[in-house]
């Protein structure tokens, strides 16, 4: 009976330890998403194009889904709010959290077919999500003309996802090749 209690206590401590590690890693990713979004950017007519999506993609491949979604939403929202674009926070929270759902952390490596394919719906969600938000909530009135004008920012969103995808693929490949990803997965998650 005492041995069973000891085993259960060890299991409970390991679960708490893993949750704490995931939470800490989520905070690091939220900070990285914020930094890459707020400071590695190029101004455009729709606001700015940034490199933060690369960290959203990486977080989604490393962290369990709820932690990745939280890191993406918090990091993106902080970047919008602290960079003077607070009006975009509602869209960013939803779009970045949903983006993390396209990727998997269960394949044993970052760059796998599923995660490469996930870049396509990420691009579509970015274009459609931000364009609809702009056309509906940031104009004087809802009309097909305001929606069409909002979709005029599509090239900027394509560049943003392309930059984020390029960085993600390069860093993800490096993490896979060096074994750092497996080390993180084994020791933190």
Q: Full-prediction pTM beyond 0.85?
A: yes
Residue with tokens 């939470």: 23
Structural domain harbouring 145? 2-188
Reading the chain (189 residues) residue by residue, the pLDDT tens digits are: 555 565 555 555 666 888 999 999 999 999 999 999 999 988 876 678 899 999 999 999 999 999 999 999 999 999 999 999 999 999 999 999 999 999 998 888 999 999 999 999 999 999 999 999 999 988 877 788 888 988 998 998 999 999 999 999 999 999 999 988 777 766 655
Does residue 43 sit in helix, strand or coil?
strand
Counted domains in the chain: 1
CB 59 within 8 A of CB 68: yes
Residue with tokens 């084994």: 186
Query: Alpha-carbon distance 25 to 39, whole Å?
Result: 21
Q: What is the CATH classification number for the domain harbouring 111?
A: 1.10.1760.20
Residue 55: which residues within 8 A CB-CB, separation 6 or more? 29, 32, 33, 36, 75
């Amino acid at each position: 009976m005492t041995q069973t209690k000891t085993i259960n206590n060890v299991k409970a401590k390991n679960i708490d330890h893993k949750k704490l590690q995931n939470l800490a890693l989520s905070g690091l990713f939220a900070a990285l998403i914020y930094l890459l979004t707020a400071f590695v950017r190029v101004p455009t007519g729709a606001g700015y194009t940034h490199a933060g999506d690369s960290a959203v993609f990486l977080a989604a491949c490393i962290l369990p889904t709820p932690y990745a979604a939280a890191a993406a939403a918090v990091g993106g929202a902080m970047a919008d709010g602290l960079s003077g674009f607070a009006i975009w926070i509602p869209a960013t929270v939803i779009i970045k959290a949903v983006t993390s759902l396209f990727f998997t952390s269960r394949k044993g490596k970052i760059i796998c077919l599923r995660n490469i394919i996930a870049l396509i719906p990420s691009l579509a969600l970015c274009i459609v999500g931000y364009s609809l938000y702009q056309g509906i909530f940031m104009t004087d009135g809802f009309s097909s003309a305001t929606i069409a004008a909002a979709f005029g920012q599509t090239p900027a969103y394509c560049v943003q996802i392309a930059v984020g995808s390029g960085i993600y693929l390069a860093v993800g490949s490096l993490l896979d090749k060096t074994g750092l990803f497996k080390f993180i997965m084994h020791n933190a998650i």
